[in-house]
A = this chain, B = another copy of it.
């Protein structure tokens, strides 16, 4: 755990922003090119680029260039790891609860 803390924190930080969550949600429908994501933000293109970079560097998105366009998609492995991590945080606690329940 201790070594992966930094990594985990980076994951959560990447998800800790409404706009980025909106992007991830959009991409959960499947791969999309940047140009199709522009409407997610009311504002400038550079900001979208910034958020995409943040998510990509955290390992949550992958990108792929195809001619003029760049396509982004979710990295499902990362999301799975995050899901497991969250699960593991409550896991031990749950076990303790269960253990206590049996001894009431």
Contacts and interface: CB of A to CB of B under 8 A. Distances in A.
A13 interface: yes
Interface in A42-98: 73-74, 76, 79-80, 82-83, 86-94, 96-97
B79 A86 contact: yes
A74 B86 CA distance: 12
A22 B80 CA distance: 21
Given A16-B12, A21-B5, A28 B90 contact: yes
A91 B17 contact: no
A8 B89 CA distance: 17
A33 interface: no
A10 B18 CA distance: 9
B92 A76 contact: no
A6 interface: yes
Contact of A28 (B5, B10, B89): B89
B74 A30 contact: no
Nearest to A25: B1
Contact of A93 (B1, B8, B10, B76): B76
